[in-house]
Structure 1
Amino acid sequence: MQDGRHDAKPGDGRRRGGRVRGRQGTARSTARPSGRGRHPAVGRLCLVAALGLGPVLPAQQALAVVEDSTPAVVEDGVLAYAFAADAQRVEGAPSTADAEELEPGRTYRSTLPAAGTVYYRLELDDTATAYASATAVPPPGRTVSVADGVKVTVEDADGRSCDVDTANFGAPGSPRPVAAWAMREISPRRSLCAEAGTYYVTVERAAPDARDASPDPWEMELITVSEPALETADPTRAPDAWNSATPAPVQGRAQRRPGGAGFAQATPLGEGVWRDDIRPGQSLFYQVPVDWGRQLHATAELGSSGTDASGYVASALDLDLYNPVRGHVEDLGIGYDGGQKAKALKPLPPVAYENRHASGRQVTAMRFAGAYYLVAHLSAEVAEKFGDGPVPLTLRVRQSGEVRDGPGYAGRVVPSDVFTVAGSGGGTADAGEGGADGDTLYRVLAAGGIGTGSALVVGLGVWTVVARRRAAV
C-alpha cells in the first residue's frame, strides 16, 4: 500500500470503456432462485427479540424489511427490477403546462417513452437544495445501444437549465437499471435558479435514435430529496487534499449475502467480504452506510466459471457506486475470460459537506452521509461465452477515516433519515454465520424501547407474514 494525497482537479465529464457520464450546469410469474432465500433466520426472530439484542433498524421497520423480501419477479430468466412498494404512480406530461408535482421525500413510478421528453413539476423555496433522480429500467432480454440511457434535467420556469446529468449503458451494451440525477442547488457560488417558484424535472432517453436503441418504453423510478440551508455560513471551498492511498482489500472468508433487486431492496453491507452468485443480464443492489468523515473502499471480484468454455468479454462486470440520492459517483468495469478477475473502485474522498464545492464530479457527489449503493451488473454477453449459469461475485468492503459531526441544518431534511447512518448496516465480516443473511432481520426486533412481550408478538407476526407469502407462492 502506498500513501498518497489527492489534490482536487477540474473535470466535469469522463469516458471509460465506451461509457460516458457527464454533469453540466449553466450558472407475473414469480420464483425464488435456488440458493437465494433471504430469511433463514426468520424462525429465530422471537427468541432473538426476547434476548434483547442491540438495535440495527427502528422496530417499526421490521415488517417493511420482510415486505421488501418477497419473491422477485423473473423476466426472461433474469430477476426484474424491484420497485419500491410505496411508489406512487405518476404520469410524465409531454408539456410543462400539464406536469404533475413531485413532492420531496416521495418515491414515484412512471414510464419513459421511447422518444420525446416527459416533464414533472417541483415547487421550491429560495433556501433548500432539491435533488431529483430517475432510475430507468429497460425490459430485460432486449437490445440496447451503448450510447443510450437516461438524461435528467432541472429547469426553471424560463426554461433555463439548472443542472443536467446523463447515464449511459456504455460498453457492456446490456439492458440494466441506470440512474441519473440533477439538482436545484442553493449556493453562494450560484446565482441561477436561486429564486423561489416552479421548477421542472425533464426526463428523456439519452440516445433514442442510436443504433440498436430499444424501441420499447421503459419503466422508471423517481425520487426527490430536499436539503435545507445550514445554520451558519455555508463553506465555499472544498477540502484541498485527502488521502488517496488504496488500502489492502479486506481479507477473510467470504460470507453469503444475496443482493437485492432494486434500490428499495438493496441489501445492507458492513465492512467485510461478501459473496453472491450473479447471472448474465442480472443486476444486484447493495447499500453501505457511510458516515461523515469516512472513506469507502470497495473491490469486486469475479470467480472462475468452472466450465471448459473459452472466450473473452471485455466489459463483463460493471460495478456502479451511487450516493444516498442515487447520484452516480464512480464505476469500474472488469473483463472476463473465465478465470478469476478483481478490480477496485478508484479512491474516493471522505464524505464531507464541503465536497460539493469541488470541480470534479466524483468528489462533489460525496457530499453527504447515508446509504451509498453498490450496483453490480453482469453483461448478458457472458452467457454467449460461458453459458447462462451464475458466476461467483465477491465484494470486499472497507471504510477508513474518523467519524465527524455532520453539518448543522437550519431546517428539516426530507426525507428525514436520508443523510443519517443508524446502526451497523448489516454487520461486519466477523459477525459469524448469523451475521450474514439474517443479521438485520433478527436484530431489528430488539430495537430500543420495545418490550420483550411486544417483541415476541411482532416476531410472531413477521414469521406469520413470511410463512403466508411462501405458501402463496
Structure 2
Amino acid sequence: MTVLLGFCATVAMPAAAAVPAPVAQPAAAPVAPVAQPAAAPVAVGGAGPGAYAFTPGARTVAGTEGTADAVPLDPRHTYRSSLPRGGRLYYRLRLAAQDTAYVPVTAVPPADAAVSATDGIRVSLRDATGGSCSYASARFGAGLSPRPVTALGQREAGKALCQGGGTYYLLVERLDAEGSGAAAPAQRWDLEIAPVTEPGLARAGATSPPRTWDSATPEPLTGRPRERSGGTGFAGARPLGPGVWRTTLTPGETRFYKVPLDWGRQLHASAELGGAPGHGYVGGALNLSLYNPVRGSVEDASLGYTGAAKPAALAPVPPVEYANRYAVQAGVTSVRFAGEYYLVLHLSTQLSGTFGQGPFDVTLRVRVDGQAHAGPAYAGSPVPEDAFTVTEQDREAALTGDTGGGGDDRVMWLVAVGGIGSGTALLLVLGGWTVAARRSHARAR
C-alpha cells in the first residue's frame, strides 16, 4: 500500500518537482557527462508497436571518444546512451579482482533505418593499459531488418587476461557496411547498457565442463496454443513457461519473453511462422534468439519464408550448470547460471513487400527438462542481487504471464494524462488490480 500511495503522490506532483540525485564523477574528468535517471520508461525505435521499451529509471549517459573522460558505469543501474554512424565510444567500470563482470549492450536503430546483413555493433572490455579482455559482435543478419541486437563484453576472474581489480573500459563500436545508411548519415542508434557482476565461489570446484548431456532434439510439444503477447524490451519481457503459446506480429516488430531456469534445468524452444497468401521468398523472415540472464547470446535461429507455415528451432543447449563456463562452444559456455533466460522474436520488415502487413501468427513451443538442484555457494552476492535467482513468484508468473504490473497500466495512463486526484487514483488502481487478477486467472485455466 505504501508503494501505491507513493505512486499516486508522484503522479499528482508537477514534473518540475522531480530532482534526480547527483552522480559522482571520476576525478580524472574535469567535466564528465552526468548520468541522469530517466523520469519514465521511453519507447524508442520509431513510433508504433515495434518501439523498444527501455528499463524504467535507466540513467542517460554519453559515451566518449577517449578513455580519459569516460563516464563510470555501476552494476546497480541500467544506462541509456546513443551511438553515431561509425562511432567508437568508451565507458568506465571499476571492478574488484574476484568478480566476473558482464556488460551487455543492446543497440536499437530507428524503425526506418536502412541496414545491411553485416551492420551491427562490436563490444569489448579492456583493461587500463588497453589490453582486450573479450569482444563480441551482433549483426542484423539476413532479414535486413532494423531490430534490437545485443552483444556482451565480459571480464572473467581467474582467466589469464585482465586480472586484478581496478579501472576497466567498455568500448562500443558501430559496424556499418559501405553504403549502408548513406541516406541518413547522421542517424544515431540508441543503446541500453546493463552491467552485472558475479562473485567468485566460496570454495573451488571443478574446472572442466560436464562431459555428457542430452543433446537430442525432443519431439515438439503439441496441443492447443494459449495466447501470450510479448514485451517490447528486456526489462518488460513477458514471463513464459513450458507449453505451446501463440502471438501475432507485424513486420518490424520485436517481442521479448523470459523463461525461469533453475540450476539443472534444460530449455528447448522453437517458433513457427504461420502461413500467409502471396508468392515469393523472404530470407530471415522470422528470427528467434535465446539470451542468458546477463543478456549474453546463447543460440539464434532464423527461417526463410515462402508463405507456407514453417518452424525455426534453436539448437539444443545443455542443462544450466556453473561448470558450463569452461566449455569452448558459445551455446554451452553461456548456459552458466540460473535465472531468467530470454526468448526474443523478430519479424522482418521485408515481409510486408511480398506477403503484406499482417498480422502474422507465430507459435512458440517451449519445453523445460532436467532435475532442478541447488546452485554453487558464492563467496558474495551478485549485483544486481537477484541476477541469478529463480523464485516461486517467477515460476508462477511464467504460467500466468503476470509481469507484476497486472492490468493497471491503462489506469496509470489515465491518472497521468487526466490529472486525477490521488484518492480517485487509489480506487481506480485497486479496481484495476482486481479485474486484472481475475482475467489472468481465467486465461491460465
Same fold (TM over 0.5): yes
- Name the TM-score class by shorter chain: 0.7 to 0.9
Contact 1:78 1:140 (8 Å CA) reproduced: no
For residues 129 and 74 of structure 1, what CA distance do their matches in structure 2 show? 32
| Offset of residue 104 of structure 1 | 1.2
Per-residue CA deviation, residues 86-145 of structure 1 (Å, 9 max, x unaligned), is 100111111100101100131000011112311000111111111101000000022102
Match of 1:228 in 2: 199
1:409 is the counterpart of 2:378: yes
Q: Which amino acid aligns with 1:239?
A: P
Q: How many residues align structurally?
A: 383
1:388 is the counterpart of 2:341: no
Greater mean deviation of Cα atoms: 458-467 or 239-248? 458-467
For residues 311 and 460 of structure 1, what CA distance do their matches in structure 2 show? 50
Match of 1:290 among 261, 283, 288: 261
1:162 is the counterpart of 2:133: yes
1:176 is the counterpart of 2:166: no
Match of 2:217 in 1: 246
| Offset of residue 205 of structure 1 | 0.7
Match of 2:208 in 1: 237
For residues 427 and 227 of structure 2, what CA distance do their matches in structure 1 show? 24
Contact 1:271 1:428 (8 Å CA) reproduced: no
| Offset of residue 440 of structure 1 | 5.7
Match of 1:418 in 2: 387
For residues 227 and 244 of structure 1, what CA distance do their matches in structure 2 show? 28
Q: Which amino acid aligns with 2:74?
A: E
Contact 1:272 1:428 (8 Å CA) reproduced: no
For residues 154 and 146 of structure 1, what CA distance do their matches in structure 2 show? 25
**Residues 195/426 of structure 1: CA separation in 2 closer, same or farther (3 Å cut):** closer
| 5+ long unaligned stretches in structure 2 | 8-39, 409-424, 436-445
Say which SS state the counterpart of residue 97 (structure 1) adopts: coil
* RMSD between superposed Cα atoms in Å: 2.9
With a CA cutoff of 8 Å and minimum separation of 6, indicate the structure with the bigger relative contact order.
1
| Offset of residue 191 of structure 1 | 2.4
Match of 1:55 in 2: none
Contact 1:270 1:424 (8 Å CA) reproduced: no
For residues 106 and 146 of structure 2, what CA distance do their matches in structure 1 show? 13
Say which SS state the counterpart of residue 115 (structure 2) adopts: coil
| Offset of residue 301 of structure 1 | 0.6
Match of 1:95 in 2: 66
Contact 1:299 1:396 (8 Å CA) reproduced: yes
Match of 2:57 in 1: 86
| Offset of residue 394 of structure 1 | 0.8
Contact 2:407 2:432 (8 Å CA) reproduced: no
Contact 1:154 1:202 (8 Å CA) reproduced: yes
Q: How does 1:73-472 map to 2 (within 5 A)?
A: 75=46, 77-187=48-158, 190-207=159-176, 209=178, 211-212=180-181, 215=185, 216-305=187-276, 307=277, 309-423=278-392, 425=394, 435=400, 461=429, 463=431
| Offset of residue 249 of structure 1 | 1.7
Structure 1 vs Structure 2: percent identity of aligned residues?
48
**Residues 131/210 of structure 1: CA separation in 2 closer, same or farther (3 Å cut):** farther
TM-score (norm 2): 0.80
Contact 1:303 1:341 (8 Å CA) reproduced: yes
| Offset of residue 458 of structure 1 | 8.4
Say which SS state the counterpart of residue 179 (structure 1) adopts: strand
| Offset of residue 209 of structure 1 | 3.8
**Residues 462/418 of structure 1: CA separation in 2 closer, same or farther (3 Å cut):** farther
Contact 1:302 1:394 (8 Å CA) reproduced: yes
**Residues 409/267 of structure 1: CA separation in 2 closer, same or farther (3 Å cut):** same
| Offset of residue 428 of structure 1 | 9.0
| 5+ long unaligned stretches in structure 1 | 1-45, 47-58, 64-68, 445-456, 468-473
Contact 2:41 2:53 (8 Å CA) reproduced: no
**Residues 276/204 of structure 1: CA separation in 2 closer, same or farther (3 Å cut):** same
Q: Which amino acid aligns with 1:108?
A: Y
| Offset of residue 353 of structure 1 | 0.6
TM-score (norm 1): 0.75
Q: Which amino acid aligns with 2:215?
A: S
| Offset of residue 339 of structure 1 | 1.7
Q: Which amino acid aligns with 1:320?
A: S
Say which SS state the counterpart of residue 416 (structure 1) adopts: coil
| Offset of residue 424 of structure 1 | 6.0
For residues 201 and 290 of structure 2, what CA distance do their matches in structure 1 show? 27
Per-residue CA deviation, residues 368-408 of structure 1 (Å, 9 max, x unaligned), is 11111111101100000111121001101010000021110
| Offset of residue 425 of structure 1 | 3.6
**Residues 439/326 of structure 1: CA separation in 2 closer, same or farther (3 Å cut):** closer
Q: Which amino acid aligns with 1:118?
A: L
For residues 115 and 71 of structure 1, what CA distance do their matches in structure 2 show? 25
Q: Which amino acid aligns with 2:304?
A: G
Per-residue CA deviation, residues 401-425 of structure 1 (Å, 9 max, x unaligned), is 0002111000111001110111264
For residues 99 and 462 of structure 1, what CA distance do their matches in structure 2 show? 45
| Offset of residue 464 of structure 1 | 5.9
For residues 403 and 150 of structure 2, what CA distance do their matches in structure 1 show? 29
**Residues 357/212 of structure 1: CA separation in 2 closer, same or farther (3 Å cut):** same
